[in-house]
A and B are shown apart, each in its own frame.
Chain A
Amino acid sequence: MTALQDVKNAVRSRSIHVCYVNVGSCNGCDIEILACLAPRYDIEQYGIYVHNNPREADILLVTGGFSPQWEDKLKEVWDKIPEPKAAIAIGNCPISGCVFNREGTYLDPPVRKHIPIAAEVPGCPPRPTEILEAVLSLAPVVFKDYEERGE
């Protein structure tokens, strides 16, 4: 059914619904994601729609190092998202904990230990142009031939 798979690839790379969850960040990365929605760096022109509902989302954006309250809750939010899905880590905190990774902290980085992450955007916080470049280069690839990969 390769024609059907081509149609699926084409549709899934042009229309992506995004949900973001803040597992313990300082809000810097969250407002840079909001700045992507502004008319200056318009993210909706590429078909990417940011609402905040896990049940209707394709991609989950994770910001923040992992704080202790989210240990049971992030897995539940991830399980609520229907297949096909992917998670992207934005900022330094989900990759390595940023400046908070010292002794005496409550965080438990990296987030990769808890849910599977498909891509990472480093920076503290990353500029909206960097976030957009990462998301746009990822859009055709992340859901390509999803059924045949068996994930």
Chain B
Amino acid sequence: MKKTVDVSLPIGPVHPVFKEPCRIKCETSGEYVINAELELGYVKKGIERIMVGRPWQEVMFLAERVCGICSVIHNYVCIEGMERINGVAVPDRAAYLRLVVNELDRIQSHLLANYSYCYTIEHETLAMYLLNLRETAMDALEYITGARVTCSYIIPGGVRFDLSPEKEQKLRTMIDHIDSELTRFVRMFEGGSLIALRSKDVGTFSREEAIESHAVGPTARASNLDNDCRLFHPTYQKLGFESVLLDEGDNYARIMLRFLEVFQSTQLIRSALDSMEKGTIRGGGEIGGGFAEWAGEAPRGELTYTIDTDEHGRVKKIGIRTPSIMNIEACVHYMIKGVHSSADVTSTYISSDPCIACNER
């Protein structure tokens, strides 16, 4: 369906600020962007089709590799969904360890998203500071699980490895380091007036538009829409979790919300390490046949797995709904439309933290 417009600006698959290929076609009149369209399909692999007929020890690795940035949460939701099919129980220590690794992954994903935004605004000092701080979180992940990305730490019935007391001490010093350095960087971000010129009141997204376009995650919470999946997860509720909300709904609010969530994550890790007691880390338990549906909070929003297994635990049908499916729609069709200059298209797109690999699986 071709449409003839005055000026069409394609921002193409291979682009200096895009990490993943997608094409945004903007219709502009002068500098003002009137309309935008999205073209996807560059990384489709057919993962849900490959998973059919496979047991959990192969499905888990395929689920992890749907997206390399948020790989721990895919592992978490897939295994918890399979456990709920016939009620496999998890010991307490394993539940807290799962939470620690999940929050470490959230910290590194939020720091990567903010690095990406600062790089798009060409503020390379802050971008490189954030990327360097992210390395501390990756070191902590490597120390606990043995791998930086795609950790494969969570199995049905518990986790794979235990946390010895020396590792726990080292983890606490790393978390304190992240906390202290990040307060400095947030002050730099808040006080910069050139950053404010490019971020405040750019790409505004009101609460009604968020409800209409089904936005999830930090993109919606920055517009005062509360839909955090951690509010109904039992382990998070034991530690008293409350979601963070902001009001303005522009680029600045989305980036500040991610910084505030990193602080919340370090606090959650500390309270999980304090509440952990000695015990077993694997509870055994075979996965049976049946149907289950489970949702979790990925760094970008709500992630849902719908799993159907046969009597020996092999997958018959599986459906994955990732948060980027909703967020990219919200970004391109609502946020980019009112943007005043076509130079702001890329920074608005990056501030909503898209993950094309999650979108297309």
Contact = CB atoms under 8 A, between A and B. Distances in A.
A24 B43 contact: yes
Interface stretch (A1-9, A36-44, A82-90, A138-146): A36-44
A15 interface: no
B131 A39 contact: yes
Contact of A68 (B44, B61, B135): B44
B49 A107 contact: no
Contacts of B93: none
How extensive is the interface on chain B, given as a class? 35 or more
B68 A26 contact: yes
Given A40-B132, A69-B42, A125-B149, A99 B69 contact: no
A34 B138 CA distance: 13
Contacts of A105: 45-46, 49-50
Given A26-B66, A26-B357, A70-B42, A102 B19 contact: no
A64 interface: yes
Nearest to A30: B19
A31 interface: yes
B148 interface: yes
Contacts of B131: 34-35, 37-39
A73 B45 contact: no
Interface stretch (B9-17, B214-222, B275-283): B9-17
B45 A30 contact: no
A22 B68 contact: no
A115 B102 CA distance: 39
B44 A67 contact: yes
A107 B49 CA distance: 12
B272 interface: no
Contact of A67 (B43, B52, B138, B148): B43
B44 A22 contact: no
A89 to B, nearest CB: 16
A65 B47 CA distance: 13
What is the interface of chain B mostly: helix, strand, loop, or mixed?
Answer: loop
A65 B45 contact: yes
Given A30-B20, A31-B112, A40-B132, A69 B44 contact: yes
Contacts of A127: 148
Given A67-B45, A68-B44, A125-B150, A27 B20 contact: yes
A40 B42 contact: no
B135 A38 contact: yes
Nearest to A65: B45
Contacts of B67: 26-27
Contacts of B16: 51-53
Contacts of A124: 65, 150
Contact of B69 (A19, A31, A39, A100): A31
Interface in B26-65: 41-47, 49-50, 52, 58, 61-62, 65
B303 interface: no
A134 interface: no
Contacts of A132: none
A98 B41 CA distance: 20
B134 interface: yes
Contact of A38 (B21, B43, B66, B128): B128
B68 A24 contact: no
A99 B132 contact: no
B331 interface: no
A22 B135 contact: no
B71 interface: yes
B355 interface: yes
Given A28-B150, A32-B148, A99-B62, 10 more contacts: A22-B20, A25-B357, A27-B19, A38-B134, A39-B131, A53-B16, A69-B41, A100-B62, A104-B46, A127-B148
Interface of A: 19, 21-32, 34-35, 37-40, 51-54, 64-65, 67-70, 73, 77, 98-100, 102-107, 124-125, 127
11 contacts: A23-B43, A26-B66, A26-B71, A28-B68, A34-B131, A35-B134, A38-B128, A69-B41, A98-B65, A99-B58, A99-B61
List the 5 closest A-B pairs by CB distance, nearest first.
Answer: A28-B68, A27-B68, A52-B16, A38-B131, A104-B49
